Each structure stands twice: as structure tokens, then as C-alpha cells.
Amino acid sequence: MFKGTIIAKEAAKGFEEIQDMAGTIGINGTAHSLPADPRTSLLDFLRHDLGLTGTKKGCDHGQCGACTVIVNGMRINSCLTLAAMHEGDRVTTIEGIGGPDAPSDLQHAFMAHDALQCGYCTPGQICSAQAMLAEIAEGWPSDATADLTSEATFSDEEIRERMSGNLCRCGAYANIVAAIRDVARGRADATV
């Protein structure tokens, strides 16, 4: 797995120069070279370097969730991580979840339930919800889970707690919960 590669020049022992490293990051199934400037957040890398502007910059401080993407299956705030630290990682953005021609079940549900007004938070909401449904399927508890040792169960209270990292300034929360609830039920029915 980790080969101990080095990202930038370091005079101390055991370090190599960046040029020696074939560093790439996988975005929606395509490998891209890592940015040269280590300051580049994953969010800025996606938007500025790759033109993947579906991922949004809201607060840039991990407070709003508009920048949520899925890295190796885990949802994170792309504003609070350096792109250069994601060598070899697999990133899924909203563009990788679906587009106008082939929207995902969550994207369909957000439209059907009018789960947005301005839409700025929506890509982050959908990436977050996509990972959140997988977390519940794994049986991971949340702060709203009554019994830590039993399987997590699906409820509106669980959705609200688990989605608390995604703010919606338009206040479309009720319909966001409804959209996610629909998809969760749909997926559960599909697996019966």
C-alpha cells in the first residue's frame, strides 16, 4: 500500500524530490496528475484545475458541507484537505454520481421532492446522502442511535442528525429529508 513516497524536496534523510513520483489522483474513474502547488485544496483542484464545478465552495472552512465529495467511499469536506495528500485515492464528485442524461436515484428524488431552492448546496447534499445511506447499510451508529450495539435503523431523526454537516440556507430541509427517505425506502425495496 503505502510506499513512503515523498511529495516535495526535503533535505533530511529518506526524502526524495517530487519529480521522482508519478503521483496521480483518480477522479470519477479518471487519473489526474496531482497539483504542483501543495496549497491547492481538493476543492480548488476539482473546480479550478479540472473544471469540475459541480462541487461548490460555500464557507471554505468545513462548516457548510457544500464541498462534500466521496473519497475512497468516505464523505469528506474537500475544502479541508490538500489535493497533494490524495495520491492514489479515488474521488467521486457529483459529476460521477449522475448528470442530466442519467440522474441517480437521489438526484431524481431531489427533483421530485423540490428538495432545493437555489441549488447551491445540492451537490454536497447528494454526495453526502449517497455516502450516508452506505453508512447506515454498514450499521454505523450516529448520535441519534438509541442502542449503539444494535443495527442502526432508518428514521427521519437519523437522517437529520447524519446530514447535519450539510447546511441549506434556503431551508429546504423538510424536502431534503423526504427525498432521502424515499430513496432509502426504494433501495431497501429493491434488495428484498
Q: Give contact residues for other proteins (rule: CB under 8 A).
A: 1-2, 4-10, 12-15, 38-39, 41, 60-62, 65, 68, 74-77, 80-82, 84-85, 128, 131-132, 135, 138, 140-143, 145, 148-149, 160-162, 164-165
Q: Residue 6 or 108: which CB sits closer to other proteins?
A: 6
Shortest Cβ 135–other proteins spacing (Å): 7
- Provide, rounded to whole angstroms, the least separation between the CB of residue 68 and other proteins: 6
List the beta bridge partners of residue 32. 25
Least separation, in Å, of the C-beta of 110 and other proteins? 19
Write down the residue that cell numbers 431551508 correspond to: 171
Instruction: Please identify, using beta-carbon distances, which residue of 108 and 154 lies nearer to other proteins.
Output: 154
